[in-house]
C-alpha cells in the first residue's frame, strides 16, 4: 500500500493536515492494514486516530506508535470482538464509535451497547466509561460537559451499569429524550441536493465481451468488513449471451455498477462476488466518498429499474425484484437531503429501512447489512479492489485497473 507516499506527495493533503494542526484539531485516518514503516510515516504525517483497524496486532502497533484507536462497530463493519481486549492495557488511548449505522440499529442502541458488551467481557467499568465518555471529549476538545463543577449538564441516566439501557438524556440541563423517544421538536427544512444525471436504459449496463486473456478482475465483498478481496477469475464463469457478459447468480457472480450522479457519463461496470443475490438488484446513492449511485444486480433490467428509482427520487436506496407474474417491481426509501438523508421521523425511516433490508435478503443476499456493504464498494481508499465512476480501482497500487 502507498498511503504515506500519497499523503506526503500531495501538497493539498499536507496543507489540510497542517491547517488542522494549527487550529489544534486532530486528524482522523483511514488506513486498514497499514503496518511497519509505512504506519510510522503515516502517523508522523499528523494522523492521530484510526477507526479502520480490523486486527488486534495492527491496532496494537498503531497504539505503540502513538495513535489512538477507535473501536468501530457499525452495521456492516464490525471490529469490536477483535479489538476490545486492547482496552485493558490502553484505557487512555481507546474510544468507541459506530461509523455507518443503520437507522433501525440506532433505534435499539448505540455506544451504550458497546459499553454493555465490554463490561460483560469483564473489562473494568471505569475503563469502559473512559473510552465511551471521557477520551472522545478530551481528544476532540468537544464542548461537552463531563460532570465537573461549572460544566454544562450533559449526561444520560441508565437503569444499571451492566446493560446500560438509557432512560433519559439531558443536554445543557434540558431533557431531550426519554425511554427511547426523542423530545426534540422537528423543524422544517429545504433539502440541499445535486442530481444531474438522466435515467438509464438496460443497454447502458451491458458489458461487451472481449477476447482479452480469458480472465477478469473481480471484487469479493467480505461480510463485516470494509476491505475487499481482489480476485482474478476466468471469463467462462460469467454468462455470455449475444456478445455480452452477464451476471451468473448461481456462481454468486453479480454485476456491480457505479453511475455518476453529478453529470451524464458512461456507466462504470464490473463484477462482484459474495453479495448472494439470486434475482433482482439493489441500489444506493449512499456510496462513500463521492456518493454516486452504486448498484449490484442479477440482471440488467433489474439494475436499470433500481438505479432509475434512485435517480427519480434524487437520492435513496432501492430494491428491484421480479413479481410472481414475471414483471419487475421495486421498493424505495427516498433520501432527498443530499441524496444521503431523510427529513422524515427517524423511527419511521427505521421501519422503512428494515423492510428494504428484508427484501434484499429475501432476494438471496446473505450479508448481514447488504446496503451498508454496498455503500463501501465505491470507497476507493480502502483496499483492495473497488469500483469508481471511472472504473475499477486498485487501492494497493492506488491506480485505476
Domain assignment present for residue 174? The answer is no
Evaluate if residue 396 carries a pLDDT over 90.
no
Domain assignment present for residue 331? The answer is yes
Domain assignment present for residue 184? The answer is no
Question: In the chain, how many domains are there?
Answer: 2
Highest mean pLDDT among 43-52, 148-157, 178-187, 323-332: 148-157
> 95 in helix, strand or coil?
strand
Q: What is the pLDDT at residue 191?
A: 85
On whether the CB atoms of residues 391 and 385 are closer than 8 A, the answer is: no
Q: What is the pLDDT at residue 166?
A: 95
pLDDT band at 1 (very low <50, low <70, confident <90, very high): very low
Evaluate if residue 8 carries a pLDDT over 60.
no
Shared domain check, 233 and 133:
no
Q: What is the pLDDT at residue 385?
A: 97
Q: What is the pLDDT at residue 38?
A: 85
Domain assignment present for residue 185? The answer is no
Query: What is the SS3 string spanning 289-339?
Result: CCCCEEEEECCHHHHHHHHHHHHHHCCEEEEEEECCCCCEEEEEEECCECC
Q: What is the pLDDT at residue 9?
A: 61
For residue 384, what are the domain limits? 202-400
Shared domain check, 206 and 85:
no
Q: What gap in Å lies between CA 49 and CA 15, rounded to an integer?
A: 18
CATH of residue 39: 3.20.20.140
Instruction: Count the alpha carbons within 13 Å of 293 in the hemisphere toward its beta carbon.
Output: 37
Q: Which of 19-23, 288-292, 382-386 has the lowest mean pLDDT?
A: 19-23
Domain assignment present for residue 119? The answer is yes
Q: What is the pLDDT at residue 315?
A: 97
Shared domain check, 236 and 379:
yes
CA dist 374 to 74, 226, 303, 352, Å? 14, 10, 14, 18
**pTM for the structure as a whole:** 0.86
Amino acid at each position: 500500500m502507498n498511503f504515506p507516499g500519497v499523503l506526503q506527495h500531495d501538497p493539498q493533503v499536507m496543507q489540510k493536515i497542517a491547517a488542522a494542526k494549527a487550529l489544534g484539531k486532530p486528524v482522523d485516518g483511514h488506513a486498514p492494514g497499514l503496518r511497519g514503516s509505512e504506519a510510522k510515516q503515516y502517523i508522523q504525517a499528523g494522523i492521530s486516530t484510526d477507526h479502520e483497524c480490523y486486527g488486534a496486532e495492527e491496532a496494537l502497533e498503531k497504539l505503540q506508535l502513538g495513535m489512538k484507536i477507535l473501536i468501530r462497530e457499525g452495521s456492516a463493519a464490525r471490529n469490536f470482538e477483535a479489538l476490545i481486549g486492547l482496552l485493558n492495557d490502553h484505557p487512555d488511548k481507546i474510544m468507541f464509535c459506530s461509523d455507518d449505522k443503520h437507522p433501525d440499529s440506532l433505534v435499539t442502541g448505540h455506544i451504550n451497547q458497546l459499553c454493555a458488551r465490554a463490561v460483560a467481557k469483564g473489562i473494568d467499568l471505569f475503563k469502559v466509561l473512559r473510552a465511551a465518555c471521557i477520551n472522545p471529549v478530551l481528544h476532540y476538545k468537544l464542548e461537552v460537559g463531563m460532570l465537573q463543577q461549572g460544566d454544562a449538564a450533559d449526561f444520560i441516566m441508565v437503569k444499571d451499569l451492566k446493560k446500560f439501557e438509557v432512560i433519559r438524556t439531558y443536554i445543557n440541563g434540558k431533557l431531550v429524550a426519554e425511554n427511547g423517544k426523542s423530545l426534540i421538536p422537528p423543524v422544517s427544512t429545504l433539502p440541499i441536493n445535486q442530481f444531474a444525471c438522466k435515467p438509464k436504459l438496460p443497454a447502458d449496463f451491458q458489458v461487451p465481451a472481449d477476447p482479452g486473456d480469458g480472465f477478469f478482475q473481480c471484487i469479493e465483498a467480505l461480510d463485516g468488513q470494509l476491505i475487499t478481496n481482489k480476485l482474478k477469475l476466468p471469463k467462462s464463469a460469467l454468462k455470455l449471451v449475444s456478445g455480452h457478459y452477464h451476471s451468473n447468480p448461481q456462481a454468486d457472480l453479480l454485476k456491480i455498477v457505479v453511475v455518476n450522479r453529478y453529470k451524464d457519463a458512461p456507466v462504470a461496470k464490473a463484477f462482484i462476488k459474495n453479495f448472494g443475490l439470486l434475482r433482482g438488484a439493489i441500489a444506493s446513492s449512499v456510496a462513500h466518498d463521492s456518493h454516486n449511485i452504486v448498484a449490484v444486480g442479477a440482471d440488467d433490467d433489474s439494475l436499470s429499474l433500481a438505479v432509475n428509482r434512485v435517480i427519480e427520487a434524487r437520492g435513496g436506496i432501492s430494491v428491484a425484484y421480479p413479481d410472481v407474474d414475471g414483471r419487475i417491481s421495486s421498493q424505495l426509501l427516498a433520501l432527498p437531503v443530499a441524496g444521503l438523508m431523510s427529513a422524515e421521523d427517524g423511527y419511521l425511516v427505521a421501519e422503512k429501512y428494515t423492510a428494504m433490508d428484508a427484501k434484499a435478503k429475501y432476494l438471496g443476499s446473505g450479508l448481514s447489512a447488504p446496503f451498508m456493504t454496498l455503500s463501501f464498494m465505491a470507497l476507493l481508499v480502502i483496499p483492495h479492489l473497488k469500483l469508481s465512476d471511472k472504473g475499477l480501482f486498485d487501492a494497493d497500487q492506488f491506480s485505476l485497473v
